[in-house]
Amino acid sequence: MFYYLIIFILAAVLAMLLTPLAIILAGKWGIIDYPGDRRIHTFPIPRLGGAAIFLAFWLTIFLLIDFDQMILGLFLGSSIIFLVGMVDDIKGLRPLVKLLWQLVAAIVPLFFGLAVEQVTLPILGEIYLGMAIGYAFAVIWIVGVVNTVNISDGLDGLAAGICFIAALILCWSALRIDQVIPAYLLLALAGVALGFLFYNYHPAKIFMGDSGSMFLGYILGAVSIWGLLKTATILGLVFPLLVLGMPITDVLFAIIRRSWKGLSIARADRGHLHHRLLDAGFSQKQAVLILYAISLCFGLAAILSVYGYWLVSLILILLNTGLILRIMLRRFFLLNNNNKIRKSNEKRGKK
């Protein structure tokens, strides 16, 4: 247990030490996020936090964990995703180009032994996928989690806090099935996210940028495959899906919303959960805390399912989903009410 604590503390301390350096360098190199478009902040903020996150995580791993083939694959793949994010932060990349590089990064660990030949589902049990489908599933899963975390990075401290919660819960689940190395990696990720939060929580002194959010998503996606999806226990596929329930639901709504409007699913908009909460009058801190709470409830539902409390878990999931629907549909209800009021006033005016 002491060794786990050392990993967590070292990762957090390194993130806390490297982030101020990233703030200084971002100012010197002009890597700044300026207000405008869909951005919520009102003054320029450094956008080099991803570098501090990347370095703090891998320095912790290099110093405390023996490198093996799988970790080497994760290092190479995550380095690609980090560099792609850096280019996007500095120069900007078209969505399709970014997606292609995400696919490349997701494929890299497959050459180092990362594969999913079977998944486990409730009732259905263990489902054998085969090598080809397993490889495709692994790539889709990693890219999906990368973009899920990336999209959630819309408020100060939101993505880092969600990843902190998810990494801790996934670490717990990995330890339950004796997946020690994945647990180490997840604990290091949780420490890095917490250390970065000291500077990223509202009012943020620095942003993680795409380089940071995509890196966090990449490690969560790849390590959850390594530590959970390959297991034959009920933790299998359902557990990481529940733990990431809040951002995954947000992404699904974004896909439905944009498709319904005939827009590209890659096109950014102001329809995400955090935007809806701000539009409802909540402050940034309040909105972030609400989304933290929703994430924790999804995580608690995942933990309860492990202990067989499926009914309680289901109730929590339904309550969470209902709350998310209420937040998402608020604008629709307001428009309907405003239309009714307008029509009522028009009728009165005619009379």
Residue 110 near residue 118 (C-beta atoms within 8 A): no
Residue 68 in any domain: the answer is yes
Rounded to two decimals, what is the model's pTM?
0.87
CB under 8 Å to 252, separation ≥6 — which residues? none
Which region among 37-41, 61-65, 74-78, 129-133 has the lowest average model confidence (pLDDT)? 37-41
DSSP string across 190-236: HHHHHHHHHHHSSSPS---HHHHHHHHHHHHHHHHIIIIIT-SSTTT
CB under 8 Å to 5, separation ≥6 — which residues? none
Query: CA 18, CA 24: separation in Å to the nearest integer?
Result: 10
Reading the block at residue 290, the tokens are 């609400």
Residue 65 in any domain: the answer is yes
Confidence of residue 60 (pLDDT cuts 50, 70, 90): very high
Confidence of residue 1 (pLDDT cuts 50, 70, 90): confident
**Mean pLDDT over all residues of the chain?**
84
Domain that holds residue 7: 2-35+44-345
Residues 263-305 have pLDDT tens digits of 766 666 677 788 788 888 888 899 999 999 999 999 998 888 8
Residues 219-229 have pLDDT tens digits of 999 998 886 66
User: Is pLDDT of 77 > 90?
Assistant: yes
Residue 325 in any domain: the answer is yes
Query: CA 236, CA 192: separation in Å to the nearest integer?
Result: 25
Residue 155 near residue 284 (C-beta atoms within 8 A): yes
Helix (H) or strand (E) holding 127: strand 125-128
Q: What length does the chain have? A: 351
User: Is pLDDT of 38 > 80?
Assistant: no
Residue 350 in any domain: the answer is no
Query: CA 165, CA 173: separation in Å to the nearest integer?
Result: 13
User: Letter for the amino acid at 345?
Assistant: N
User: Letter for the amino acid at 96?
Assistant: L
98: nearest Cα among 83, 109, 111, 108: 83
Query: CA 154, CA 144: separation in Å to the nearest integer?
Result: 17
State the total domains in the chain: 1
Give the Cα-Cα-Cα angle 143, 149, 153 (nearest 5 degrees): 140
Residue 351 in any domain: the answer is no
Predicted pLDDT at 82? 97
Share of the chain above pLDDT 90, in %: 46
User: Is pLDDT of 338 > 80?
Assistant: no
